[in-house]
Structure 1
């Protein structure tokens, strides 16, 4: 198989484009949420130090930090699902058309 032939194929360009757009979009979303958290720490730390409710030692900062970790896991799961469905389908179609 000639690599240039694969790279010139419309199905490859579609696959590469979709993967890039999806990956960049998810990366930007995660980075925006993370930087919002960091900026809150920098400019409004009292908010993150407030307890969730009266009498608890758990603060909003802890809850939001755990939420960031959960968001990262959720975005990873969404990407894996997309990769195992749409991207695998496009890859299989490309291989069939190139051979």
Structure 2
């Protein structure tokens, strides 16, 4: 996991422990696995709620960004029409 995230093993472990301590994930060891490092990290109900809240905030920010871009595009179109109109009038 640390390698995939591009962080040290210590940093990955520290973060995983913090998530475990907050009750946002739970860890399950696959005892029958030949790979003794095989673990599953699962979202707890609290973790799912936190993830849903984070996703909702992210979407709210993205929708606001989209609306701001739409307003900017509308203003640019209006400015473009005004420029073209003044070019036609004043040449």
The two structures have a TM-score, normalised by structure 2, of: 0.42
Q: Specify which structure has the bigger relative contact order, considering alpha-carbon pairs within 8 angstroms and separated by 6 or more residues.
A: 1
- For the pair shown, the structure with the greater C-alpha radius of gyration is 2
- In terms of fraction of residues, the more helix-rich structure is 1
Q: TM-score, normalised by structure 1?
A: 0.39
Between Structure 1 and Structure 2, which shows a larger proportion of strand residues? Answer: 2
